[in-house]
């Protein structure tokens, strides 16, 4: 199929409607068969559960064009498992993982012309989401739900490219409560971060680092990504029940251990320990890995040894290995790559 006539190398991380999206509806205890649709707009009651009580969860994953022209996705089963867990937490019907993966294949195949070409630096981003569409006025789960998945071609998440070091600040806000919803991908979590990220951007920072809300002494994550630290031959990530289990971070742990021979640690990281790290970065589907160059803690600036000009050597190797796996240039562990046929 002929690709769309886009300047792929100049794409930003922003929404552009494509030809098809997937839609399925849940009512009276079951999901319908679901279908591809050309309609990008959603019509719902003014009293819909998502509008009244923020009953919504979502996911994010990508499709890629490989060097030999194939189109693939990366570990969609993990996204399917995570949205199942997220739905259960907000008392929503589970959209089964198997149907989720099938919907991914359908949406990518139908929008094949929108998948950026190999080497362009762009990807096709998929946004699956599930929300309460039925009307509800009392505080209760909605009576009906809709699952949708759209696709949009995107460029790098952070301005300047994915490997340009970013500046972050320590946020005064809490991202999630100790027994709250921090470990699921709920829209309400991200709404809570909007004021903090708006303030950070106005102050010249790319992101926020959040500390644990109970003691405000331990590292948690950013508003939209997990944090990774490199210390010698160790790959270290914060451990907490309020951190979203990133598919990218979990994949990088395998890359670090099995491909690069590193020691992997998931543990509590006191914020004061950041000064001892050799490299620090953030990771997620959108950014893959973005190195951190500076951390501003209310005027006390931690300058990461790798600086503000280039990605550190270990993070670069991790990123190059993971993207090589995603693009099928490096052999992937079994089940990680799903080809769209």
Over residues 92-150, the pLDDT tens digits come to 999 999 999 999 999 999 999 999 999 999 999 999 999 999 999 999 999 999 999 99
Among 35-39, 118-122, 234-238, which stretch is predicted with the lowest mean pLDDT?
118-122
- The 3-state secondary structure of the chain reads CCCCCCCHHHCCCCCCCCCCEEEEEEECCEECCCEEECCCCCCCCCCEHHHHHCCEEECCEEEEECCCCCEEEECHHHHHHHHHHHHHHCCCCCCCHHHHHHHHHHHHHHCHHHCCCCCCCCEEEEEEEEEECCECCCCCCCCEEEEEEEEEEECCCCCCCCCCCEEEEECCCCCCCCCCCCCCCEHHHHHHHHHHHHHHHHCCCCEEECECCCCCCEECCCCCCEEEEEECCEEEEECCCCCCCCHHHHHHHHHHHHHCCCEEEEECCEHHHHHHCCEEEEEECCCEEEEEEEEEECCEEEECCCCCCCCCHHHHHHHHHHHHHHCCCCCCCCCCEEECC
Domain boundary among 154, 183, 217: 154
Q: Give the confidence band of 162 by pLDDT, cuts at 50, 70, 90.
A: low
Q: Are residues 117 and 219 in the same domain?
A: no
Q: Are residues 288 and 220 in the same domain?
A: yes
pTM: predicted TM-score of the whole model, two decimal places: 0.95
Q: Are residues 79 and 197 in the same domain?
A: no
- Domain extent at residue 170: 166-326
In a domain, 335, yes or no: no
CATH number, residue 307: 3.20.10.10
Q: What is the pLDDT of residue 91?
A: 98
In a domain, 41, yes or no: yes
In a domain, 331, yes or no: no
Q: Are residues 314 and 171 in the same domain?
A: yes
Domain boundary among 126, 154, 182: 154
CATH number, residue 35: 3.30.470.10
Q: Give the confidence band of 160 by pLDDT, cuts at 50, 70, 90.
A: low
Q: Are residues 69 and 138 in the same domain?
A: yes
Q: Give the confidence band of 161 by pLDDT, cuts at 50, 70, 90.
A: low
Give per-residue pLDDT as tens, 71-95.
999 999 999 999 999 999 999 999 9
Between these two residues, 157 and 332, which has the higher pLDDT value? 332
Average pLDDT over residues 236-244: 96
Q: Are residues 193 and 124 in the same domain?
A: no
Average pLDDT over residues 6-25: 97
Catalytic residues: 185
Q: Are residues 67 and 12 in the same domain?
A: yes
What lies within 8 Å, CB to CB, of 273 at 6+ separation is none
Q: What is the pLDDT of residue 1?
A: 77
Domain boundary among 134, 154, 174: 154
Q: Are residues 196 and 314 in the same domain?
A: yes
Q: What percent of the chain has pLDDT over 90?
A: 96
Q: Are residues 204 and 261 in the same domain?
A: yes
Q: Are residues 173 and 319 in the same domain?
A: yes
Number of domains in the chain: 2
């Amino acid at each position: 199929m002929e690709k769309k006539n886009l300047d792929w190398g100049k794409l930003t991380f922003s929404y552009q409607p494509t030809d098809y999206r997937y839609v399925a509806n849940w009512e009276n205890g079951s999901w319908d068969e679901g279908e591809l649709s050309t309609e990008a707009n959603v019509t719902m009651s003014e009293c819909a559960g998502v509008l009244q009580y923020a009953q919504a969860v979502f996911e994010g994953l990508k499709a890629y064009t490989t060097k030999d022209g194939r189109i693939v996705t990366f570990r969609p089963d993990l996204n399917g498992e995570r949205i199942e867990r997220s739905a259960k937490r907000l008392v929503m019907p589970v959209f089964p993982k198997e149907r989720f993966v099938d919907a991914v294949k359908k949406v990518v195949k139908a929008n094949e012309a929108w998948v950026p070409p190999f080497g362009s630096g762009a990807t096709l981003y998929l946004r699956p989401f599930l929300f309460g569409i039925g009307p509800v006025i009392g505080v209760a789960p909605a009576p009906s739900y809709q699952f949708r998945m759209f696709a949009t071609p995107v460029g790098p998440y952070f301005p300047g490219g994915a490997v340009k070091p970013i500046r972050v600040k320590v946020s005064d806000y809490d991202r999630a409560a100790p027994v709250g919803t921090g470990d699921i991908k709920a829209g309400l979590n991200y709404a809570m971060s909007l004021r903090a990220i708006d303030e950070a951007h106005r102050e010249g920072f790319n992101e926020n680092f959040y500390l644990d809300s109970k003691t405000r002494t331990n590292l948690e994550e950013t508003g939209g990504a997990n944090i990774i630290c490199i210390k010698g031959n160790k790959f270290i990530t914060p451990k907490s029940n309020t951190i979203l289990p990133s598919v990218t971070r979990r994949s990088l742990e395998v890359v670090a251990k099995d491909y690069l021979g590193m020691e992997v640690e998931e543990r509590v990281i006191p914020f004061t320990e950041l000064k001892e790290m050799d490299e620090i970065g953030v990771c997620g589907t959108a950014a893959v890995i973005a190195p951190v160059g500076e951390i501003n803690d209310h005027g006390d600036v931690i300058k990461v040894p790798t600086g503000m000009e280039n990605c550190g050597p270990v993070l670069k190797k991790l990123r190059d290995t993971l993207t090589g796996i995603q693009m099928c240039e490096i052999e992937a562990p079994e089940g990680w790559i799903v080809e769209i046929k």
